[in-house]
């Protein structure tokens, strides 16, 4: 851990639902301004198959869009739908002027190559910034859209720094941020946003755990962002005193006694909370903010289109 960051008097749980509520009001204000100029905002989601996590995400987005009065459409396609048919739906939405944001819900079936499909999105409607053009703009530090989950990670951190009276610039430029997970939609963009803030950023993934070296990296973290998709991957042996823990993992786990499905994170929070300066829970941490940030990106796309 970086010298001078300081140790916590106590651990603090970062309430993502409260942050999301405040961000939602900001988005509502942006929508009011958009409508005052005579324009609306439209969001379309596309899901292929019956993945539990994707379906749960779609339901949350539908409710949120309804609450914000954003025009919302959902396209569900059977798991065996061909790549060409999924691409046809994407091109249809690209050409629809009433749709400003398109979200392809993941995971996609193996016969539908994600990179190829995301490259077929209109980059001006790609509100998760996964089109190669948008990924390149982010890497160059001139993003069209900030991917919703990495943006939410730093929005939560920024708000915590402000509320605890810490200077953002001084904190980030003195911090080591370790990101566990290298996905195109979370891990890699999180690295870019950490670099943009002047932090030292270290990237690793679950393979470091399999080789027995994960703790060598995570113990250096002032801020540990975990997005590996592995339940309870991070335990006390991986966390240094005073680290800030941001858990992006949302893993459905079936209770062996009740048969009910519950969501758990990538961090074993009960085992590490005594070490943390601050931490996000699962559920109720990054997830709710991510949902609202996606709507924020959709409003930005509608504004850019008009």
Quick check: 8 pLDDT over 50?
no
- Is the N-terminal amide bond of 283 cis, ω within 30° of 0? yes
Pair of tokens at residue 186: 């979370």
Which letter does DSSP use for residue 228 in this model? S
Mean pLDDT computed over 87-109? 97
Residue 60: beta bridge partners?
none
Mean pLDDT computed over 53-75? 96
**Lowest mean pLDDT, pick from 225-234, 250-259, 285-294:** 250-259
Mean pLDDT computed over 47-73? 95
pLDDT score for 10: 56
- Listed in sequence order, the residues at least 6 apart from 142 whose beta carbon sits closer than 8 Å to its beta carbon are none
Q: What is the pLDDT of residues 71-97, one digit of tens each?
A: 999 999 999 999 999 999 999 999 999
Q: How far apart are CA 5 and CA 1, in angstroms?
A: 8
Domain definitions of the chain by residue range: 39-131, 148-288
- The domain 148-288 having CATH identifier 3.20.20.60: the answer here is no
Residue 127 marked as a ligand binder = no
Q: Do domains 39-131 and 148-288 have the same CATH topology?
A: yes
Residue 246 marked as a ligand binder = no
pLDDT score for 52: 85
Residue 119 marked as a ligand binder = no
Pair of tokens at residue 164: 């605890």
Pair of tokens at residue 130: 């996964």
Residue 183 marked as a ligand binder = yes
- The domain 39-131 having CATH identifier 3.40.50.10860: the answer here is yes
pLDDT score for 262: 87
Q: How far apart are CA 103 and CA 115, in angstroms?
A: 14
pLDDT score for 256: 82
Quick check: 9 pLDDT over 80?
no
């Amino acid at each position: 851990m970086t010298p001078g960051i300081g140790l916590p008097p106590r651990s603090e749980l970062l309430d993502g639902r409260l942050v999301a509520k405040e961000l939602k009001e900001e988005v509502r204000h942006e929508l009011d301004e958009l409508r005052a100029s005579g324009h609306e905002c439209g969001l379309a989601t596309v899901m292929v198959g019956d993945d539990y996590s994707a379906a749960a995400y779609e339901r949350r987005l539908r409710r949120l869009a309804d609450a914000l009065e954003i025009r919302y459409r959902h396209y569900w396609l059977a798991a065996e739908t061909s790549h060409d048919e999924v691409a046809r739906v994407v091109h249809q939405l690209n050409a629809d002027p009433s749709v400003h944001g398109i979200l392809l819900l993941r995971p996609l079936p193996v016969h539908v190559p994600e990179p190829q499909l995301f490259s077929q999105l209109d980059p001006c409607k790609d509100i998760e910034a996964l089109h190669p053009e948008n990924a390149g703009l982010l890497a160059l530090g001139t993003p069209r859209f900030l991917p919703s989950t990495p943006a939410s990670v730093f929005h939560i951190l920024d708000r915590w720094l402000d509320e605890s009276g810490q200077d953002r610039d001084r904190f980030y430029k003195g911090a080591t941020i370790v990101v566990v997970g290298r996905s195109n939609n979370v891990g890699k963009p999180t690295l870019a946003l950490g670099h943009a803030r002047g932090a030292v950023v270290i990237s690793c993934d679950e393979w470091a755990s399999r080789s027995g070296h994960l703790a060598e990296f995570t113990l250096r973290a002032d801020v540990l962002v975990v997005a590996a998709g592995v339940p309870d991957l991070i335990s006390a042996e991986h966390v240094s005193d005073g680290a800030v823990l941001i858990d992006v993992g949302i893993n459905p786990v079936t209770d062996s006694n009740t048969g009910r499905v519950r969501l758990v994170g990538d961090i074993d929070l009960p085992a590490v909370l005594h070490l943390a300066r601050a931490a996000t829970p699962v559920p109720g941490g990054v997830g709710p903010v991510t949902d609202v940030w996606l709507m924020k990106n959709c409003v930005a796309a509608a504004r850019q289109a008009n």
